[in-house]
Structure 1
Amino acid sequence: MTSTVTSPPARSAPRKRYREVDPIGWWLKALGGLVIAFLILPTLFVIPMSFSTSTTFQFPPTGFSWRLYENFFTNPVWLDSLGNSFLVATLTALLATTTGTAAAVALSRLDGRVARLVRTLLMVPIVAPAIVVAIAVYIAFLGWQLTGTVTGYVLAHTAIAVPYVLVSVTGALGGLDPRLLKASASLGASPARTFARVTIPLISRGILTGAIFAFIVSFDEVVIALFLRSPLFQTMPVQMYNSVTVEIDPTISAASSLMVVAVTFIFLLPQLLRGRRRRR
């Protein structure tokens, strides 16, 4: 009689538990927090100072008053500079958005050294020092008699705003399916109709983002504006610069607070509109 010995069942190897790895390290989060705090910290001083009753810059404020805001909205110098900035920024946003979108669409259909060279040249205003661009613009516009004119401001600001539109629209074109353009052409649509009915709606977010950046860049630009200013026409950043260097005017704290609120609202507006569309 033979007896069979049964071996115990083999135990399966224990599964290894893998911990989730955070792609963003703690040191990078800490560094980002410090950068954000560095950028926000001046605002925490400027906004309370705009409600101060003092006639000079003083923190913490001695009292609460709307006097500085009243000075801002009743002083023709501040109101004229604000209107000039809005005019120049609006025209710059329109011209830069049109030019940057056309350049992005054209470069997306080209390839090779020429396309890379043109794209690099269009990005020069971003990497070049502002003072170098300002001197070059001033020398050129002085001969063309464009200094101190709305046309000069718009052309100069458009040159530095086009790269932002180019980057934004190029990113939007990267997600565009070329088969949609072929389908539109196969249905008999002309290139202009395809661009208006297919391309623009699909890259509208990139165009809107570029327009916002162009508006903000123009509205906040001060170096070129200092070279192009005239006694009869100057923008808001130039007036703010004068209120600190030429005369000590605490109204600049109210103007700075209004600019911070306006710029923040302009940046948050597309996000709010996108959130409403998702809810619907």
Structure 2
Amino acid sequence: MEMLVLEPDAFSMRWYQTLLEDEEWHRALFNSFFIGICATIIATTLGTLAAVALNQPRFPGRRTVMALLISPMVTPIVIVGVSVFFFYSTPWIGLSQTYLGLILSHAMLGAPFVVITVTATLAGFNQTLMHAAASLGANAWTRFRRIQLPLISPGVITGALFAFATSFDEVVVVLFMGGLEQRTLPRQMWSGIREEINPTILAVATLLIIFAVLVLFTVEWLRSRTARQLQPN
């Protein structure tokens, strides 16, 4: 049986160099960033609009809609993967093994994080600012763009970071939905462990850990900034 062995006397940057020179890893890294960025844009846009809509005082069925929006977060990922595979594989949709299918699937997984973070930020938002702007003649779009969005932007950015991290780290849906051209970094790592033990995987894992730590520090910084902005003067 092959095993990953770390040799104490063989520390080097060799496997990072292999990572930079291997075309398969290049393709996987490009796919992860491309799918992650596109999915994050969709998830952030739709999640922010949904959170703002749910924050309206007279929104009907708020709890039911919120439960539906965050359901991908609490549903086992295998069930999600099987569901999107059968849904996108139907002849009248045909998005299985396509970039668009993966982007939409990852956007669905990331949107709940945006909804939750933006909703939490809106809980401390001073609605009198919107009422004052409305009394001065500003329409709904102007009030949202000039007043509400700048103040809740830390929450939006935090949700976007979580959505991107979710997409970048996801492997189960990719196994169901992705073809050979759509291999992402986690999918390539999974294949490397399953088909061929390669120390390059350890180099990739180290970079992913560093990326996760940076995301956590960024989220904490944004959380602190949001708390300061929403504190009454």
TM-score, scaled to structure 2: 0.89
**1:189-228, Cα deviation, whole Å (9 max, x unpaired):** 1111000011001111110100000000000011101111
Give the SS at the match of 2:180: coil
CA contact (8 A) 2:29 2:185 kept: yes
The count of residues paired between Structure 1 and Structure 2 equals: 223
Q: 217, 225, 241: which is aligned to 2:190?
A: 241
> In the superposition, relative to structure 1, how do residues 179 and 212 fare at CA in structure 2: closer, same or farther (>3 Å)?
same
Partner of 2:98: 149
- In structure 2, the CA distance between the partners of 1:183 and 1:210, relative to structure 1 (3 Å rule), is same
Other structure's SS at 1:203 match = helix
- 1:23-74 deviation line (CA, Å, top 9, x unaligned): xxxxxxxxxxxxxxxxxxxxxxxxxxxxxxxx96214533222111111000
Is 1:139 the counterpart of 2:83? The answer is no
- Of 4, 9, 12, 1:65 maps to 12
Please show how residues 104-123 of structure 1 align to structure 2 within 5 Å. Answer: 104-111=51-58, 114-123=61-70
RMSD over equivalenced CA pairs, Å: 2.1
Q: Quote the residue 1:180 is aligned against.
A: 129
Q: Is the 1:72–1:251 Cα contact (8 Å) retained in structure 2?
A: yes
Question: Does 1:202 find its partner at 2:151?
Answer: yes
| CA separation of 1:88 and 1:114: change in aligned 2, threshold 3 A | same
Partner of 2:209: 260
Q: Give the aligned partner of residue 178 of structure 2.
A: 229
The structure with higher relative contact order (CA 8 Å, sep 6+) is 2
Name the CA distance, whole Å, in 2 between partners of 1:176 and 1:68: 49
**Whole-angstrom CA distance in 2 between matches of 1:113 and 1:63:** 63
Q: Give, in angstroms, the shift of residue 266 of structure 1.
A: 3.0
Q: Distance in 2 between matches of 1:271 and 1:166?
A: 18
The range that moved more, 97-106 or 242-251, is 242-251
- Structure 1's unaligned 5+ residue stretches are 1-54
Tell me the residue number matched to 1:171.
Answer: 120
* Residues 56 and 249, structure 1, Cα contact 8 Å, conserved in 2: no
What SS does the aligned partner of 1:177 have?
coil
User: Structure 2 regions of 5+ residues with no counterpart?
Assistant: 229-233
Deviation at 1:273, TM superposition (A): 7.7
Q: Could you tell me the percent identity over the aligned residues?
A: 37
Checking the alignment, whether the CA contact within 8 Å between 1:100 and 1:165 is kept in structure 2 is yes
TM-score in terms of structure 1 length: 0.75
Question: For the residues of structure 1 that align with 2:222 and 2:77, how far apart are their CA atoms?
Answer: 34
Runs (4+) of structure 1 exceeding 4 A deviation are: 110-113, 270-276
Distance 1:81 1:140 in 2: 25
